[in-house]
């Protein structure tokens, strides 16, 4: 079956024929238009590879059959869902099978007594949050792509988001996984119990592995009791330094916010143009958005946050007294990426992170990089946990603009490591950051990761060229 896909036609490709025989013909496509449309994610990672075939999986058994055939034929497999990755993690590689998991989109079970939800990877994050809320429960993972990203994608990258400052990241929510190994073997990792230390923690290892170790087909997720009605505030500042001062004051206090977000001046202007109802002050250098969802004390928390804003020299404060008003503020923050894409055409999205005490150094290096390269860099992010999103804007039709953006992208990653940070806080490595990992991880650690990959995937077919 290991024929050369370059010489095979859709009609003669033995792998496509075997897939149609194992599944259903309507689940398998070699249509050039379908393949081209499915080949890339939202990463601006350049030209994606040319896939060989696309398969729409509808069950764990389908995934197992696909991987078994691909393993025998030594053909790469790229798992995909909503393709909202901004690192190239779900973009095609040449000659691959695109394994589309988006139809695995059932919430299998919600167990209120255990505060657990069992879900398939194609479930959209916001849909899961809404479903568990009907049971008085809360799924706190809240990436900026909350309304379009899937649980499977969140697991693949260990996504965080706006509320991870209080509630942690995806890995903190995952109890157990059903996953399919490269050769088609189905395994279940982890425990549904709160505690469980039998064996190595393979569940934690699979979370964040970007589909390079196994393909997740079901997850058991830990939920929380519903929080109180949120209250919040937005503070406008004349400098990024004063905004960071306010954030530091809040994080040093006993009233932990459930979100603490930063937008710079470039971000605010782009968001206003994209969504004029945002009505952000375009003469301010920075905006902080803070939320508390503590039962019975959210409004009091906000009074303390407003005091911290004022002590740090805020130019003005906008208080959000209801959950709906807080949601409106957070939706302004969610418009960061689409607003910049609308304004500039192309965006390379970073998600560097640093210890909170060194955030000013990180921001200074980002500003220096913009000056040195001539690239437009807009910075927002989860300032409460030190995870910034420098978004490097460029004109896709201008070669010089693209080159400046690429240079700035590499420099930001390099300089984040220099200030004690990391090249990825939550988006993953994918294709775009593989070279940058060498500056952060020692050769010994990289070699160890390669050996782990080989143990799970000895023929190297799972999402090759990504993550490690």
Q: Which residues of the chain have pLDDT under 50?
A: 1-3, 5-7
Tens-place pLDDT, residues 352-386: 999 999 999 999 999 999 999 999 999 999 999 99
Q: Which of 393, 442, 431, 436 is nearest to 412 (CA)?
A: 436
Residues 6+ apart with CB under 8 A from 456: 181, 182, 212, 213, 214, 462
3-class DSSP state of 51 = coil
Pick the CATH number of 231-418 from 3.40.462.10, 3.40.50.11540, 1.50.10.150, 3.40.50.300: 3.40.462.10
The per-residue pLDDT for 258 is: 97
Alpha-carbon dihedral of residues 53, 54, 59, 61, nearest 10 degrees?
A: 10
Task: Specify whether the CB–CB gap between 101 and 80 falls below 8 A.
Answer: yes
User: Is the model's pTM score more than 0.85?
Assistant: yes
What are φ and ψ of residue 234, in 5° steps?
-120, 130
Fold of 107-225: 3.30.465
The per-residue pLDDT for 241 is: 96
Q: Which of 256, 90, 78 is nearest to 182 (CA)?
A: 78
Tens-place pLDDT, residues 156-204: 999 999 999 999 999 999 999 999 999 999 999 999 999 999 999 999 9
What are φ and ψ of residue 63, in 5° steps?
-60, -45
Q: How many CA atoms lie within 13 A of 407 on its CB side?
A: 15
Task: Specify whether the CB–CB gap between 426 and 158 falls below 8 A.
Answer: yes
**How far is 373 from 369, CA to CA, in rounded Å?**
6
DSSP-derived secondary structure for 175-212: EEEEEE-TTS-EEEEE-SSS---SS--HHHHHTTSTTS
| Beta-strand pair 137-138/224-225 | antiparallel
Task: Specify whether the CB–CB gap between 126 and 219 falls below 8 A.
Answer: no
Residue ranges of domains in the chain: 14-100, 107-225, 231-418
Q: Which of 162, 287, 155 is nearest to 233 (CA)?
A: 287
Domain with residues 14-100, CATH architecture: 2-Layer Sandwich (3.30)
3-class DSSP state of 224 = strand
């Amino acid at each position: 079956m290991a024929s050369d896909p370059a010489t095979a036609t859709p009609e003669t490709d033995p792998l496509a024929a075997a897939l149609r025989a194992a599944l259903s013909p309507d689940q398998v496509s070699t249509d050039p238009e379908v393949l081209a449309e499915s080949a890339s994610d939202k990463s601006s990672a350049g030209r994606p590879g040319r896939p060989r075939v696309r398969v729409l999986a509808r069950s764990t058994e389908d995934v197992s059959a696909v991987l078994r055939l691909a393993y025998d034929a030594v053909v790469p497999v790229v798992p995909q869902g909503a393709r909202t990755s901004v690192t190239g993690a779900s973009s095609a590689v040449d000659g691959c099978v695109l394994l589309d998991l988006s139809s695995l989109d059932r919430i299998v079970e919600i167990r209120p007594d255990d505060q657990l939800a069992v879900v398939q990877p194609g479930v959209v994050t916001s849909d899961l949050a809404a479903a568990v809320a009907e049971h008085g429960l809360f799924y706190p993972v809240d990436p900026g792509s909350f309304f379009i990203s899937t649980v499977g994608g969140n697991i693949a990258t260990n996504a965080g988001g706006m509320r991870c400052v209080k509630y942690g990241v995806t890995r903190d929510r995952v109890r157990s996984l059903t996953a399919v190994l490269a050769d088609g073997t189905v395994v279940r990792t982890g425990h549904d119990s709160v505690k469980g230390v039998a064996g190595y923690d393979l569940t934690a290892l699979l979370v964040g592995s970007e589909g390079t170790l196994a393909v997740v087909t079901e997850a058991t997720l830990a939920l929380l009791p519903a929080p109180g009605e949120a209250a919040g505030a937005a503070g406008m500042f004349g400098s990024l330094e004063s905004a960071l001062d306010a954030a530091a004051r809040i994080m040093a206090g006993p009233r932990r916010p459930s979100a603490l977000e930063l937008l710079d001046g470039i971000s605010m202007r782009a968001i206003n143009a994209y969504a004029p109802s945002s009505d952000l002050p375009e003469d301010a250098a920075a905006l902080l958005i803070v939320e508390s969802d503590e039962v019975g004390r959210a409004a009091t928390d906000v009074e303390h946050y407003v005091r911290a804003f004022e002590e740090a020299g805020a130019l003005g404060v906008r208080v959000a007294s209801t959950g709906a008003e807080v949601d409106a503020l957070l939706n302004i923050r969610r418009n960061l990426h689409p607003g910049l894409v609308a304004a500039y055409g192309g965006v390379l999205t970073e998600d560097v992170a640093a210890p909170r005490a060194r955030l000013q150094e990180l921001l200074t290096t980002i500003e220096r990089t913009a000056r040195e390269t001539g690239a437009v860099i807009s910075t927002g992010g989860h300032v409460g946990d030190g995870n910034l999103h420098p978004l490097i804007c460029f004109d896709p039709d201008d070669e010089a603009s693209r080159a400046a953006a690429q240079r700035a992208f590499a420099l930001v990653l390099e300089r984040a490591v220099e200030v004690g940070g990391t090249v990825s806080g939550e988006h993953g490595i994918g294709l775009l950051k593989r070279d940058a990992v060498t500056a952060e991880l020692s050769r010994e650690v990289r070699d160890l990761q390669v050996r782990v990959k080989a143990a799970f995937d000895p023929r190297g077919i799972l999402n090759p060229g990504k993550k490690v």
